[in-house]
Amino acid sequence: MQTQNMYELAEQLKQLREKKKNAEQRLKEMNAEIEQADYQLSMLMAETETQNFTRAGTTFALTTKIRASAVAGSSLPPPAGRSAAGLPKTRNCKRHSPVRDIPEKQSC
């Protein structure tokens, strides 16, 4: 009786792990689709100079984030406040403008 129960639980565990693996793969695909749609919408909003708009009760707002990146080709960090050539440090920045969706506030 216990052996049969153990085999059933082992099979259930195996199936659940497979189900989890499939769900994680689908989540990766969905996240990629979200990133693509976000990028396309942000590019279109930037081209049309649209800061924000409301659609079906949700406000979509274009936001800009500036992030610093490491200096390319450097294996050791330069001294504090200096570049690899000993010059004052400058930042190499990347711009990314994601779209932020803001739910509308419900009024009574």
Whether pTM exceeds 0.75: no
**pLDDT, position 19:** 98
Asked if residues 69 and 90 have their Cβ atoms less than 8 Å apart, the reply is: no
> E strand or H helix at 68, and its extent?
strand 65-69
Q: pLDDT-based confidence at 25, cuts 50/70/90?
A: very high
Longest alpha-carbon distance in the chain: 76
Q: pLDDT-based confidence at 96, cuts 50/70/90?
A: very low
What mean pLDDT, rounded, does the chain reach? Answer: 78
